[in-house]
Amino acid sequence: MEYIFSGKWKEASPISFDASIMSVAIRVEHLSKKYILSHRASEPYVALRDVISNAFRKSSKMNAEGVGTFAKKEEFYAFKDVSFEINQGDRIGIIGRNGAGKSTLLKILSRITEVTEGRVSIKGRVASLLEVGTGFHPELTGRENIFLNGSILGMSKSEIQRKFDEIVAFAEVERFLDTPVKRYSSGMYVRLAFAVAAHLEPEILVVDEVLAVGDAEFQKKCLGKMKDVASSGRTILFVSHNMAAIQNLCSKAIYLNKGRLEIMGEAEHVISTYLRSTADVNSIDLASRKDRSGNAAFRFTSFSLKDSDDQQLSSLQSGKPGKLCLEIEKNTTIPDLRNIHIAVGIDDEMGQRITNLNNETTGTLFPEMSGSKATIEISIPRLPLRHGLYSFTLYGTVNNDVADWIGNAGNFHVEHGDFFGTGKLLPDGQGSFYIDHTFKLRNH
């Protein structure tokens, strides 16, 4: 286990100056992180920040307790054998389901948690905004925490002082500067923590799920600030479940899956791989449904979502192409079925019918159904629905007689997507779908 944290590469001798190495900001080699689970206490480590803040406060009561006092131990790898390289100035989104190891990775890069196996090399100062509770010391005031974080980043008092007013203004916490941060609301805490991390001019900015906390206005402000930081050539690692934010901010992404690096590459591609890979859950079986009506000339047997390459999806994304696929099965005593007509009613979370996809409306005539099974594919070139949960009703007729009708046949999710390519989402409470449109000001 080895860490190299310095302004220069340890291995890089002045003789073997290599421009390609110079551009690497973070190198992770065969990194594994093992947690030791126990009934008594958490992991036996003393966080760097605790050490520094203990020194800062000269208080002994913050020493880590319980080290080496475990009764039962159980080993567990939060991630295993992860390797990647990040170049200076890269904006990297990190995605993956809960428990994939995203936060653990950021904690390792921020030196909050130790490496178990492998090696991490970092060039430059890292400022991080991690899960609430890791960045600041709760007993210290807002003002003290700003200085503490600055000194952790190796800044001088006067350097911090220069940034101080900007940080306070961005966080909107003037009135609470001399209050211990443990009394802050979670919103205030996150605002200050973000402001500190983003303004202290780190070479590398690490942000974990900040967009899940603060209000919509502040989220926008944070994204804007991260863009500024990125445009000044600094490296950003950003964990979020908001795919639109990742798409908008990040050029590349890493998909962590159960502690393994599934794929790293161009953000758009990694996001679509991630959405596809969660697909196993989402083919809805309709064959065994009892609550249906119709003469059963044919029946709906399953529903699934696919992307434009026919890969199964677990959810659709605003602004992206997608397909709703219905498997149907014919009553085998009937010969070829003609004049099939299918309708899919879509309801929002409030049960309000928002649209109906219907081959009569689109003027599509299906060929006759000759085999016992067929797939009905409904392609949507650019999904206008905003993120949320939708339910659907299926309705099928043959020669105007109802063959199969299933009310509330199932649900599907629509994820955030960058419909307009601006990174801006429809504000909450401002409707349920996107409309293609343009704005113009005409002077008179």
Ligand X SMILES: Nc1ncnc2c1ncn2[C@@H]1O[C@H](COP(=O)(O)OP(=O)(O)O)[C@@H](O)[C@H]1O
Per CB under 6 A, residues contacting ligand X are: 35, 37, 42-43, 78, 96, 98-104
* Host H or E run for residue 79: strand 74-87
Residue nearest to Mg ion (CB): 103
Shortest approach of Mg ion to residue 103 CB, angstroms?
3
Q: Is there a contact between 380 and 323 (Cβ–Cβ < 8 Å)?
A: yes
CA distance 64 to 60: 10
- The DSSP code for 212 is G
- Residue 150 binding: pick among ligand X, Mg ion, none (C-beta 5-8 Å cut-off by kind): none
**Which residue is associated with the tokens 């286990």?**
1
For residues 25 and 45, give the distance between their C-alpha atoms in angstroms, rounded to a whole number.
26
- Per-residue burial over 244-273, b = 16 or more CB atoms within 10 Å of its CB, e = otherwise: bbbbbbbebbbbbbebebbebeebbebbbb
Nearer to Mg ion, 278 or 411 (CB): 278
Instruction: In angstroms, give the least distance from the CB of 135 to ligand X.
Output: 15
Which of Mg ion, ligand X, none lies near 306, with the C-beta cut-off 5 to 8 A by kind? none
Among ligand X, Mg ion, none, partner that 37 touches (CB below 5 to 8 angstroms by kind): ligand X
Residue 128 sits in the site that holds Mg ion (CB under 5 A): no
Q: How far is the CB of 10 from ligand X (least distance, A)?
A: 27
Q: Does 149 bind Mg ion (CB under 5 A)?
A: no
Q: Which does 43 bind (CB under 5 to 8 A by kind): Mg ion, ligand X, none?
A: ligand X
In whole angstroms, how close is the CB of 38 to ligand X at the nearest point?
9
Q: How far apart are CA 76 and CA 387, in angstroms?
A: 35
Give the pairing type, strands 373-380 and 235-239. Answer: unpaired
- The answer to whether residue 104 forms part of the interface with Mg ion (CB under 5 A) is no
Interface residue with Mg ion, options 103, 121, 312, 318 (CB under 5 A): 103
C-alpha neighbours within 13 Å on the C-beta side of residue 76 = 14
Nearer to ligand X, 100 or 398 (CB): 100
CB of 102 to Mg ion, least distance (A): 5
